[in-house]
Amino acid sequence: MTNPLPHSTPLPRSTTLLLNLAHALDHMFVLIFAAAIAPIATEFGIAHWEDLMPFGVGAFVMFGLGSIPAGRLGDLWGRRNMMIVFFTGIGASAILASFARTPIELAIALTILGTFASIYHPVGIPMIVQGVRNQGATIGLNGFSGNLGVALAALVTGLIVQWAGWRAGFWLPGLFAIGCGVVFALTAPPERESPARRNVPNPHSLPDHLLLRVLAVITATGMSGNLLFQFTTNGNARLLTERFEGILADPAVVGMLLAAIYAAASVAQVLVGRLIDRVPVRTLYRAIVICQIPFLVAAAHAQGWVFFVLQLGIMVCIFGAIPFTDAIMVRHVDDKMRSRVAGMRTAITFGSSALAVWVLGPIVKSTGFDTLLYLMGGIAVCTACLVSLLPKDEVLAAAQGQAGAST
């Protein structure tokens, strides 16, 4: 067992690597169902994949609601302990999903999976920024890792399903996650005390009215941004297949193209994370959200390789907007309660995931992907307006300076 580290000391590289890998696994596991939905529907005797989509809602409901107790336990019991639970729980529940024989059994297993998946965001992200100076860059790299998980869901699941069937698409990653949990338990340094018990002053405190305003805005923008994230990551595989009809028919090739889009778009998070440490946050955030709008509108009627390029632009802008809410929260929320605040915000934000998954199938079935893309463009407009409500960086800096001078 390694020795405990002071809270102000950055984590060892091996632990940071495992925490980034955990973010990739988190997003990969909740999207395995969406990536393998066509063969699952066929085996269960369901004619249209859209009709099976609502059975995955429970995973996303718990992905949000589970964040509240997960964040509380992270602060009070310890983040290292919770991450061990995350690795082993998400792996075991994925293996359980591979044994499902009916849509109801699969829905139950996915709901359990979503419960364990809810641990990462309120626990893993506050843990990984421990003691680091360039928090924006750290969050950007962590976001890059998470969205590589989205790419892996498309690529790895597609290959496994073609090679060994959809059940292996669950149990093989499940075994890998459990193995990662064993390595994490053996190598991650223990915490001297839980975050809630640390007596460390907060140099970034804000007056209550400004802090509430910031939290309200990032929660609202997180909800609208997460709607776009879930609509795309859960629907892109079928959307890309539709737009390449008559051009490409091999599911594995389509999965590779989609994985390439996600991998390239994930690089945007690394770049945005570095810019967050250097550029006014509100200005940068709003610019990236505004760029989503023309790509979404133009993609509504595009086909083939033109659509592929537009979809890449869409995902670059959607992924590029992700680091902001975590970066803003880390800057302005005391670490002693950061997991609890993150848990409450994540519960509200990711609650929109369930809505997105629930309505995705019916919208596409009744009106097609064109309507969905226009709807997403409207959501992007709303997000840009919400970002404008954030206080300017200089206002926040001045408020922090005054608070620091008075302590």
What pLDDT shows up at residue 380? 95
Cα-based angle 267, 270, 276 (whole degrees, multiple of 5): 140
| pLDDT of 20 above 90 | yes
State the Rg of the chain over Cα.
Answer: 21
Structure tokens at 291: 């760029």
What are the tens digits of pLDDT across the range 270-291? 888 888 888 888 899 999 999 9
Cα-based angle 36, 371, 245 (whole degrees, multiple of 5): 50
What pLDDT shows up at residue 202? 56
What letter does residue 196 receive in the DSSP assignment?
A: G
| pLDDT of 113 above 60 | yes
CA separation for the pair 181, 69 (Å, rounded): 20
| pLDDT of 1 above 50 | no
| pLDDT of 173 above 60 | yes
Higher pLDDT among residues 405 and 174, named by residue: 174
Residue 193 burial class via C-beta count within 10 angstroms: exposed 0-12, middle 13-18, buried 19 and up? exposed
pTM reported for the whole predicted model: 0.76
**pLDDT confidence of 212, banded at 50, 70, 90?**
confident
Cα-based angle 66, 94, 120 (whole degrees, multiple of 5): 35
What pLDDT shows up at residue 400? 62
Average pLDDT in the chain: 84
| pLDDT of 181 above 90 | yes
Structure tokens at 377: 């463009």
What pLDDT shows up at residue 235? 83
Higher pLDDT among residues 80 and 266, named by residue: 80
| Centroid of chain to Cα 276 | 18
What are the tens digits of pLDDT across the range 349-399? 776 666 776 777 788 888 888 899 999 999 999 999 999 998 887 777 776
| pLDDT of 228 above 50 | yes
Whether 60 contacts 359, CB under 8 Å: no
Domains along the sequence of the chain with CATH: 13-406 (1.20.1250.20)
Q: What is the average per-residue pLDDT within 142-147?
A: 84
Which range in 9-13, 115-119, 190-194, 302-306 is most confidently predicted, on average pLDDT? 115-119
Higher pLDDT among residues 377 and 259, named by residue: 377
| pLDDT of 200 above 70 | no
- Return the sign of the alpha-carbon dihedral for residues 267, 271, 272, 273: positive
| Centroid of chain to Cα 189 | 25
What are the tens digits of pLDDT across the range 88-109? 999 999 999 999 999 999 999 9
Integer CA distances (angstroms), 234 to 31, 208, 364, in order: 7, 37, 12
Q: What is the average per-residue pLDDT within 38-48?
A: 85
Tally Cβ neighbours within 10 Å of residue 1. 9
Integer CA distances (angstroms), 11 to 125, 146, 189, 201, 270, in order: 12, 19, 8, 20, 20
Task: Report the share of the chain in percent with pLDDT over 90.
Answer: 31
